[in-house]
A = this chain, B = another copy of it.
Amino acid sequence: MFTLRAARVSARLPRPALRSFSSSRICSGRAIVYSENGDPSTVLEAVTYPNLFSPPPPSSAHIRFLLSPINPADVNVVEGVYPSKPTKTGALTTQGKGSEGQPVFVGGNEGLGQVVALGEGVKEDTLKVGDWVVVTKQQSGTWMSERHIPVADVARVPNAEKLTEAQAATLTVNPPTAYNMLHDFVDLKQGDWVIQNGANSAIAAAKGINTINLVRNRDNIGELKSSLEKLGATHVLTYDELADKSVREKIKGWTQGKDIRLGLNCVGGKETTLMARYLGKNAHLVSYGAMSKQPLSLPTSLFIFKNLTAHGFWQSEWYKTRSAADRDTLMKTLVEYIVEKKLDTPEIEVVKVGKDRTDAQASEAVTGVFKGLAEGKYGKKVLLNLE
């Protein structure tokens, strides 16, 4: 029954108002779990837990996951090298590996679910059965067919009927990171300039903020530049171009001498040192990634004489430290951007693990995905759908 109903949602048909019902009708769930850190393609396994779901506890929701993204950071979490660690859950235990009954980790940080049932004390204006929610508490474990989760750890997707499942499922990490970095550090006005080496320029463009976007040189650089410009980039420069001294005058011409007051960095290393030199006085450099795996290395003179401030940004921390109202406002804003087509949906590939598969087959499918990811076989973002 639920499968049917969810399928209807997936097909973007209007969702019927769901009746409240006894959650005892759903009794089993499948999860992608691991009991020890390691290579995801080795340590992950799919396990079906029968008779798992009693009615949700007070202030919690029973949600059914529709799509659960696999982000690069998720791999690091499974490996045990990410600073944010999940906790093992006693309700889910190892199965059939000779160490039955030990609590396990459930993988996944980001996920879109639909509310199936609500525990006591959840007000209807907070959450209703049938609502779409995204998980905002980090490392909650989203690679699961369904689970109980405290209402405080999810955000309702506003105007969900206007979004695809993939748009909603990828709403919690990348779009808010791009949005908040543009808003939390510098009070940018229309016509101001940002320099960046990775972030989305669509939100900036939607707000009339200009971006200079840095990319590595490559064969099809002309093509890449036009595609980035189509996505909202005001200008695109390669690091080679940036290293040429004449570019300073060019940039001055673009900005009409206006100081660039915000730099967004997900690369690090010497390319970011170079980028930082183009920031103006009193600028802020915000790092949210380190794709080069090199430290952020900046001349002290930039801090002292140009009053540079360097920050980090972590969307998970944002969710943790901000109020539920802030979170809802953010979601509403981002959904509006998507609806107005000011924000692109990432290219995605859904990996569906059907309920007809055995746990062994499901395990094989999922570990295969991680093997493929490690080999760079997926150009697109992969989303799991565990039936």
Contact = CB atoms under 8 A, between A and B. Distances in A.
Interface of A: 83-84, 265, 268, 273, 287-290, 295-314, 317
Closest 6 CB pairs of A and B: A303-B312, A290-B300, A304-B312, A310-B310, A83-B305, A297-B297
- How many chain copies? 2
Contacts of A304: 287-290, 312-314
A302 B287 CA distance: 10
A305 B273 contact: no
Contacts of A297: 295-298
Contact of A312 (B268, B288, B289, B307): B307
A309 B307 contact: no
A301 B290 contact: yes
A272 to B, nearest CB: 9
Nearest to A265: B300
B309 A287 contact: no
Given A287-B303, A297-B297, A305-B312, 18 more contacts: A83-B301, A265-B300, A289-B300, A289-B304, A290-B299, A290-B301, A295-B300, A296-B297, A296-B299, A302-B312, A303-B311, A304-B313, A305-B314, A306-B312, A307-B312, A307-B317, A309-B309, A309-B311
A99 B84 CA distance: 68
A77 to B, nearest CB: 12
Contacts of A273: 295
Nearest to A269: B300
Contacts of A308: 312
Nearest to A297: B297
Contacts of A299: 290, 295-296
